[in-house]
Amino acid sequence: SMMSYDEQLFRDTIDDCIERLGFGATVVSVCLPFLAEVGVLWLTNAICPANEHFMSNLLRQMLYAQIHGANIPEVNEDDTVLVLYLPEREIHDISLLFVHQLCREHGRKSVLLGQSVPFDDLPGVAAQFPQVAFVTYCTTSPAEYQAQAYVDRIGRTFAGSEVTFHLAGSVFSEAEPVPGVTVDVTGGDLVQRLF
């Protein structure tokens, strides 16, 4: 469906997978591996950016529909709120949207800030909640060589606070965690940690 821009074929295929596997398993075992393959195809010029954008937007639509259809969880004031965000210059949000959907499914309170959130906004967001954990899944930003500096900046900025961060993505493969920060290379590890 990607090469021919066939939305109906995409929907039929995804609906069949959801019927057989369930929504979450379809995302984990079909959609996310497919996106990884699309990324390789794009990097090797086997497909054009329009093909990748077409598929990514269809997956986003599917996730937004699932999120919108789910109940917003009732939470106690002392429950930890998961604040989902992507750092500045990071726009690859599909994994983060899936985490947001899982929060709804598992009754966890989450706030989705989305793409390219300025770091300097995070302390103000944290101040809005008694218990907060920031969650991000990075694909391209920060760059791998900047990942440790990003982790260290979080450590300095939130030192002495109860705020925690869960960072995931291959960009963090060489990064060492600091107090209050966990680092996972894969989305699967992040999901296991959160749910």
- The stretch 42-63 carries a mean pLDDT of 91
**Residue 156 class from Cβ within 10 Å (0-12 exposed, 13-18 middle, 19+ buried)?**
exposed
Q: Taking the domains of the chain in order of start, what are their residue ranges?
A: 7-69, 81-194
Q: Which fold has domain 81-194?
A: Rossmann fold (3.40.50)
| pTM as predicted | 0.90
Contact 52, 105 (CB under 8 A): no
**Digit-coded pLDDT (tens) for 90-122:** 999 999 999 999 999 999 999 999 999 999 999
DSSP state, residue 89: T
